[in-house]
Amino acid sequence: MLDLALLPDGGLSWLDASGESSNVVLSTRLRLARNVEGYAFAPRAREGERLRVLAQLCEVLPQVPSLAGAAVIQVDTLPADDRLLLHERHLVSKELAGLEQNQPVRPGAAVILATGASVMVNEEDHLRLQTLQSGCDVRAAQETISRLDRELGEKVPYSFHPEFGYLTACPTNVGTGLRASVLIHLPGLVLTKEIGRVLAGLQQMGLTYRGLYGEGSEVVGNFFQISNQTTLGRSEDELVEQLDRVVRHVVEREEEARRVLLRDAGYIIEDKLWRAYGTLRHARSLSFDETMNLLSGVRLAVGLKLIQGLSVYTLNKLLIYSQLAHLAHLEGRALTDSEANQVRATYVRRTLADEAGTAA
């Protein structure tokens, strides 16, 4: 079983709720898609080519300060539950973890994990440089990722075209190769039914939204991942600035919606949120989706200061640790769905009781 203690900061420092607007924005993620010159892109490459890409990267690793002390995890050698665990921590994509239907894990698939930055190797592109930060901090994330990109690009030759920019396997990523996204919690806009208009507005601004796990995932627990849709024709600074500006506007709209809810439907909202908290504190079986939706209510209650003494950090941790592979890891064995629902309820109950200083 994968020893999570080996990962720098457990790969979870982004959950600490230290960033700006962290009661609304859970995290900011920036990723750059890069390919190494001289090899076919990972899906087309032969196994030997992918292994050479990985070897080349490991070779230069000590000379890349942004990846100091990094752990190299060869994802293709891990059993399925460990790969799911890494995916649940948002450290590897579904594709790299080989969790997509009919797409087994690719030989040579690996992830290099350092504090605050990581590199997925042999995903759709040879390299996916990533940084994940707490709260809304697009600027800091851009600095981190640019530094890593500069350091790595000096050691490993990237595929670059003067007209098309950084070349990627999928033309939707070509150019800057940059995807900047924030994971944002918008229960106020959902409850006031304003969300449709906000999401339509995003699309007009060249932005798009997805669910909790990015591409192809559904929206659960009122979490939306907002990101730039295009990567070509605008500079990295422009893309990042626009996301930052729009997200700040969405945060204001969400805060306004929360004020309206409290003003116009105070006791109804209060009752609904306390019921969500009550269920989480006492239920004996909880499905993942139900947990996400109830946690969304409790997160809103904490944001509105209706529930005191419960930290956003604990709520963030619950989002991650109440997933299937994390519960199985906790129990040290594989779990059926119904077993997982019971273990999840126990875990959530104990965590909330600890935080409240009472017995579960």
Partner 1 sequence: MLCDQCKERDVAVLLTTIEDNAVRQLHLCEKCAAERGVETPTAMPKHPMGDFLQAVQEQSLVLQEDAVRCAFCSTSLREFRASGRLGCAHCYGAFERSLRELLRRVHGSARHVGSTYHPPSPASLQKRTTLLELRDRLRRAVETEQFELAASIRDQIRVIE
Binding residues (CB under 8 A) for partner 1: these are 35, 37, 39-41, 43-44, 52, 55-56, 59-60, 124, 153-167, 169-172, 174-176, 178, 206, 230-236
Nearer to partner 1, 98 or 187 (CB): 98
CA distance 107 to 98: 10
Listed in sequence order, the residues at least 6 apart from 62 whose beta carbon sits closer than 8 Å to its beta carbon are none
Nearest residue to 50 via CA among 125, 101, 152: 125
Provide the 10 A C-beta neighbour count for residue 353. 14
User: Taking the complex as a whole, how short is the minimal distance between the CB of residue 96 and partner 1, in angstroms?
Assistant: 15
Q: Select 63 or 217, whichever has its Cβ closest to partner 1.
A: 63
Nearer to partner 1 (CB atom), residue 152 or residue 257: 152
- Any idea which residue has 């209650």 for tokens? 301
One DSSP character per residue, 263-276 reads: HHHHHHHHHHHHHH
SS3 305: coil
Torsion, CA 11, CA 13, CA 14, CA 18, rounded to 10: 180
- Least spacing, CB of residue 74 vs partner 1, in Å: 16
Question: Closer CB to partner 1, residue 115 or residue 230?
Answer: 230
Least distance from C-beta 33 to partner 1, angstroms? Answer: 12
In terms of CB distance, is 8 or 206 closer to partner 1?
A: 206
User: Are residues 102 and 87 in contact, defined by beta-carbon separation less than 8 angstroms?
Assistant: no
Q: DSSP letter for 126, please.
A: S
CB of residue 204 to partner 1, shortest distance in Å: 13
Q: Please classify residue 123 by burial: count the beta carbons closer than 10 Å to its beta carbon, then call 0-12 exposed, 13-18 middle and 19+ buried.
A: buried
In angstroms, the CA 210 to CA 306 distance is 29
In the complex, minimum distance from the CB of residue 114 to partner 1, in angstroms, rounded to a whole number: 21
Please report how close the Cβ of residue 207 comes to partner 1 at its closest, in angstroms: 13
> Which residue number, 3 or 163, has a Cβ lying nearer to partner 1?
163
